[in-house]
Amino acid sequence: MRILGIDPGIAIVGFGFIDKQGSKCVPVQYGCIQTEAHTPEEERLLHVYEGMVQLIDKYKPDAVALEKLFFNRNVTTAMSVSQARGVMVLAAMQKGLPVSEYTPMQVKQAIVGYGKAEKRQVQEMTRMFLKLQAIPKPDDVADALAVAICHAHSCTLNSKLNEVLRS
């Protein structure tokens, strides 16, 4: 199963493709889509959308997992990121891909085993899970890979629960 993990943003969208092979997660490709500051928001949204479509077409994921947005201060940023998230979901849905969302706490729990883990702990565990030489940069990329790993763990658990419930 190939999973696309996404850390939504308007300036930087982190993405990470992993293959779930049994109990292992293998990195396929990761990076970010960046938009230029001081560019009209509609152009930035188009750039994010087109980048997402190209990535989906090239790497052909079976599922998409996004980090749920959480903002407690800057409403303007929240609106821009929410719109960017919307075009990412649109790109996935147009390709017929299932989309799942995970809170930062769920991702931390899945990666570190503690829902209030520090960002650096999550990044280091992500590096170790994927046997990477270094923590991917910028942070948005490491976050996207962590979301993909979280989904890999969650879909395994969900399929086992469904098997038990069916029997």
Per the annotation, where are the binding residues for Mg(2+)? Answer: 7, 67, 140
The sheet with strand 12-21 has its strands ordered as 24-34, 12-21, 2-7, 63-67, 99-102
* Of the candidates 153, 157, 151, the residue with the CA atom closest to the CA atom of residue 4: 151
Numbered residues of the known binding site: 7, 67, 140
Catalytic positions: 7, 67, 140
